[in-house]
Amino acid sequence: MRFAPLFVALCCLAAVVPSARAQEARTGHFVDFRARPGALWGHTFIVYGRIDANGRAIEVNRAGLYPDDGQAGLILGTFVPVRATVQAVPDDFSEAPSAIYRRSLSAAGYARLKAKVAQMRGNERAWHLLMFNCNDFGIAIARELGLAAPPAVLVPNAWVRALKTMNGG
């Protein structure tokens, strides 16, 4: 009978201290498809990372397709394809988004997302207003995650809102 109090204490402790599996279930991964105002039409990009048990971001990454020559590339890319990079640009950090569509991801989905971004960063890219723009980057990411995606010809704000509507968000 001496072990009864110890047994009760251990049972109570087990009920209060979450297991590693329970902790993992409350943490997770996410991707935000975001639109923000821009000099000409706006910009679509993603924010992705991990969140803790309280829903706070503990790892945050940004990526989008953007002309290497910035504003000049945007203007020239209206007429001819220009060199572009999958990257975050300063305005992605400073401009408030005009639309956000957040999706929770499994660990496997997050791994696929990171691999797709790395693959797209590793390949030379072009940007053109009508043929391959920041929405096309969003489409590639959405498809990698098994989401339906609207056409790239929408302005970024409308594109993110349509993506959300098409996927039950």
Q: Tens digit of pLDDT for each residue in 112-137? A: 999 999 999 999 899 999 999 999 99
Rounded to an integer, the average pLDDT of 90-101 is 94
Using alpha carbons only, what angle is made at residue 94 by residues 118 and 70, rounded to the nearest 5 degrees? 60
Residue 110 lies in a domain: yes
Instruction: Tell me what pLDDT residue 3 has.
Output: 40
Q: Which domain holds residue 38?
A: 27-166
Residue 43 lies in a domain: yes
Residue 155 lies in a domain: yes
Residue 17 lies in a domain: no
Instruction: Indicate if the pLDDT at residue 46 is higher than 50.
Output: yes
| Average pLDDT value for the chain | 86
Please tell me the total count of domains within the chain: 1
Residue 22 lies in a domain: no
Residue 3 lies in a domain: no
Instruction: Tell me what pLDDT residue 71 has.
Output: 87
Residue 150 lies in a domain: yes
Specify the pairing of strand 28-36 against strand 57-67. unpaired
Residue 10: phi, psi to the nearest 5?
-65, -40
Instruction: Tell me what pLDDT residue 1 has.
Output: 44
153/41: higher pLDDT? 153
Instruction: Tell me what pLDDT residue 57 has.
Output: 87
Instruction: Indicate if the pLDDT at residue 138 is higher than 90.
Output: yes
Residue 18 lies in a domain: no
C-alpha 48/C-alpha 162 separation (Å) is 19
pTM of the model: 0.82
Instruction: Tell me what pLDDT residue 27 has.
Output: 60
| Per-residue confidence band for 24, with pLDDT thresholds at 50, 70 and 90 | very low
